[in-house]
Amino acid sequence: MSTQMTVTKENALGATRATFQTKPQSNYKRLPPYGKRLMSIREAGKAPSRMVIAAFDWDLARAYPRIIIPNDLTPAEIEFRFLAGLPVQITYRSKDAHRVDAVAQEIVKVNPCFLATFALDLVGTGDAWAIIKPDLAIQEAA
């Protein structure tokens, strides 16, 4: 197991504020690449120790726990429930910008604790980040 997938009981407790359902839903959805590993961690009652990255390219975010959004599936066909209660960032290049909104809408449905987008092509312009769902624990502390 690589260091980015290190899990502890401490971060599992914080990451389960949202409901994580282990039984399959009635409509079948496919796990994205690397989703099976994250699903196994969540079913064990644990969580990744770092933010999960949802990317469209295989060469992005290799140092993080990540999932790859395949070109051949619509976001509605992808299983995202293992992201419930976790911080998630959708990282993309401008060529995939048209896909980001649909992925974000599906991920929000499983109630991550934080959801943001990050456009690599816009780094340095001030428009690279967009927070879709802020972390409520940080907001309440402020």
User: Which domain covers residue 81, as residue numbers?
Assistant: 35-140
Token pair for 78: 């992808």
pLDDT in tens, 92-140: 999 999 999 999 999 999 999 999 999 999 888 878 888 888 886 655 5
pLDDT at 29: 92
Residue 22 resides in a domain: no
Residue 70 resides in a domain: yes
Residue 14 resides in a domain: no
Q: How many CB atoms lie within 10 A of CB 52?
A: 24
Q: Which residue type does 65 have?
A: P
Residue 28 resides in a domain: no
Residue 23 resides in a domain: no
If you write DSSP's letter for every residue of 19-52 in order, what string do you get? ----SPPSS--BPPTTHHHHHHHHHTT---SSPE
Task: With residue 132 as reference, give the H or E element that holds it.
Answer: strand 129-133
Residue 24 resides in a domain: no
Whole-structure pTM value: 0.77
pLDDT in tens, 67-93: 999 999 999 999 999 999 999 999 999
Residue 16 resides in a domain: no
Residue 120 resides in a domain: yes
- The three-class DSSP label of residue 98 is helix
- The three-class DSSP label of residue 68 is strand
- Total number of domains constituting the chain: 1
